[in-house]
Structure 1
Amino acid sequence: MKLGVIGLGRMGGNMVKRLRAGGHEVVGFDVNPESERDVESMEQLVDKLETPRIVWVMVPAGNPTDTTIDTLENLLEDGDLVIDGGNTRYTDDHRHADSLAAKGIHFMDVGVSGGVWGASRGYALMVGGSEEDYNRALPIFETLKPEGADGLVLAGPVGGGHFAKMVHNGIEYGMMQAFGEGFETMMRSELIDNPAEVMTSWREGSVVQSWLLDLFARAAHDDPTLRNMPPVANESGEAKWMVEAALELGVPTPATASALWARQTSRGGGDDTLRVVSSLRAQFGGHVTQQ
């Protein structure tokens, strides 16, 4: 198929490589003139595509996505299809879909997981939209997904793809936090000689074997204590959205919430909180915290 891709960063650029390797013709655009873009504007990208067009958007969530879709709304025509593969909040998808639908432009949202390894391993794709649009773009999805039966799902109507990816990322937060807590517990015990070696051994035969564990083993190969890594972890926002959605749906999510709070605290967000706690402990119990 022939399609346009807007956003050629770490994810978008690698997706374009996989699509081209799979035989698709891709016209790529990025605002960065030093990127491997094929055209210098969205107008040129649209001009190079025959109708009905397919344009895949891979830009940061929020204003960059809003601006890109607003621009496409004025450039595309009836019957064209916009696919948002970024980490857009699912609540924004209906707004985008409704705005485009007023001009007869179709819309799908796709949650994409695979990171920088996706070009070779393939991407897990969670799609939101109509079955008609899904089948229309299926050759693209089939090329991007990993080889095998899994890795691709029509999760539901518009919004369903990004909702599924939000939940996926919330689970990811919890899994990484659990691995981290287990590693630190072993680091502090005199009974474990090499915590990294122990965790690496779980890659085969264990019920916790996973790609995340493979990535841990890779990171720990040259730095078994991980002392060269800063103890700071940013959060993209999706776990926060999941906790908010779960509260509205009446679903308790203590593991995801705990992992989210841990990341926020790692960035210094909890310093003032802990100062209050330390002060109160000193006041009522004479407990003095040593630096």
Structure 2
Amino acid sequence: MQIGMIGLGKMGGNMAERLRRGGHDVVGYDRDPSISDVANLKELVDRLQAPRAVWVMVPAGAPTQATVEQLGELLSPGDIVIDGGNSHYLDDRKHGEELGARGVGFVDCGVSGGVWGLQNGYALMTGGSDEDVRRLMPIFETLKPEEGGFVHAGGIGAGHFAKMVHNGIEYGMMQAFAEGWELLEASDVVTDVAGSFKSWRNGTVIRSWLLDLLVRALDEDPGLAELKGYAQDSGEGRWTVQAAVDHAVPLPVITAALYARFASRQDDSPAMKVVAALRNQFGGHAVTAKEGQVAKGADAPGADVVPPAEADR
């Protein structure tokens, strides 16, 4: 199948490569001309055969809005736009209405897989009409892991809503590991903190890919001495908490995890070193190193953790 890919960064670039390896014809566009196949969006649309499919993989908010508006001017009835970024589900509905008025389909797709997705596949949460999703299934089948990892969650907005909740759950899980690490470090009872975490990787009810990544981070930087306890948030945690308020659903764990990230920006929090390290490990997110130190990233040599198919983003 032929598809246009807009945004060839850490996620979009690897997704385009996985699609090419799967036999698809990918025409990529990025603001960086050194990695782009075309000079602009018009050239990308002209290179695609109708009915076209164009995947948008740019930051949520204004960049996605501008891209969708440009595509609305360039595409033809019967074409489809897929938003694979971390857009808000209410924005999806707006984009779907704008494009639908021109006869252009719209599918929102929450994507999870981070820097490991090229090798292991991406978990995909889609929202849109049955017809549009069905037409795009060859693309989804290639991007997803061999087993599972795909859901047509509902109509437009459902994919990003599911991904939003997924990321909220991720906040809570990471915070629990972080707080456990801080308590072990603070006590004089346990002398091998890293070894304790390693022992949990097999046979325990908390074994997980996040635990594997934390062990890897501790192997790279014992005690996480090179990191500052500062953790950014992508915005989806905030949206999850807001949606909980809107639906009167209590989310004490996820809300506390979000507030903990806010607190991390005030002081050098030991627990936030773990959250920062995990975000870097699974998604290649930037970390703040202590002065005079160089923080190791997810691409450090010697990596031996092989994540499962449902890898987090």
After TM superposition, the score normalised by the length of structure 1 is: 0.90
Q: Is 1:244 aligned with 2:219?
A: no
One-letter amino acid matched to 1:7: G
The structure number with the bigger radius of gyration is: 1
CA distance in 1, matches of 2:61, 2:87: 7
Tell me which residue corresponds to 2:121. 122
Aligned partner (choices 202, 205, 228) of residue 204 of structure 1: 202
Moved more, 83-92 or 193-202: 193-202
Tell me which residue corresponds to 1:104. 103
CA distance in 2, matches of 1:196, 1:228: 16
SS of 1:109's partner is strand
Tell me which residue corresponds to 1:286. none
Q: For structure 2, list consecutive stretches of 5 or more residues without a partner in the other structure.
A: 269-313
Tell me which residue corresponds to 1:40. 39
Q: For structure 1, list consecutive stretches of 5 or more residues without a partner in the other structure.
A: 271-291
CA distance in 2, matches of 1:132, 1:202: 45
Q: Per-residue displacement from partner, 1:47-78 (whole Å, max 9, x unpaired)?
A: 00000000000000000000000000000000
SS of 2:78's partner is coil
Q: Is 1:78 aligned with 2:77?
A: yes
CA distance in 1, matches of 2:5, 2:104: 16
Contact 2:229/2:267 (8 A) holds in 1: no
One-letter amino acid matched to 2:33: P
1:226, CA displacement in angstroms? Answer: 1.0
Tell me which residue corresponds to 1:154. 152
CA distance in 2, matches of 1:112, 1:87: 8
CA distance in 2, matches of 1:90, 1:241: 9
Tell me which residue corresponds to 1:134. 133
Tell me which residue corresponds to 1:10. 10
Q: Is 1:256 aligned with 2:254?
A: yes
1:154, CA displacement in angstroms? Answer: 0.4
1:178, CA displacement in angstroms? Answer: 0.3
After TM superposition, the score normalised by the length of structure 2 is: 0.84
Contact 2:241/2:255 (8 A) holds in 1: yes
Q: How many residues align?
A: 268
One-letter amino acid matched to 2:259: W
SS of 2:124's partner is strand
Q: Is 1:213 aligned with 2:211?
A: yes
Tell me which residue corresponds to 1:185. 183
1:190, CA displacement in angstroms? Answer: 1.2
Q: Per-residue displacement from partner, 1:121-143 (whole Å, max 9, x unpaired)?
A: 11110000111111100010011
RMSD: 1.2
SS of 2:102's partner is coil
CA distance in 2, matches of 1:126, 1:205: 30
CA distance in 2, matches of 1:197, 1:151: 32
SS of 2:222's partner is coil
More contact order relative to length (CA 8 Å, sep ≥ 6): 2
Q: Per-residue displacement from partner, 1:184-207 (whole Å, max 9, x unpaired)?
A: 000011111111211121111111
1:171, CA displacement in angstroms? Answer: 0.3
Tell me which residue corresponds to 1:95. 94
CA distance in 2, matches of 1:195, 1:121: 30
Moved more, 95-104 or 211-220: 211-220
Q: Is 1:268 aligned with 2:270?
A: no
1:42, CA displacement in angstroms? Answer: 0.4
One-letter amino acid matched to 2:235: G
CA distance in 1, matches of 2:206, 2:23: 37
Aligned partner (choices 221, 224, 242) of residue 222 of structure 2: 224
1:269, CA displacement in angstroms? Answer: 8.9
Shift >2 Å, 4+ stretches:
none
CA distance in 2, matches of 1:102, 1:25: 28
Tell me which residue corresponds to 1:59. 58
1:232, CA displacement in angstroms? Answer: 0.4
CA distance in 1, matches of 2:142, 2:191: 45
CA distance in 1, matches of 2:129, 2:149: 19
One-letter amino acid matched to 1:259: A
1:268, CA displacement in angstroms? Answer: 2.4
Tell me which residue corresponds to 1:29. 29
CA distance in 1, matches of 2:162, 2:220: 35
Moved more, 19-28 or 197-206: 197-206
1:247, CA displacement in angstroms? Answer: 0.8
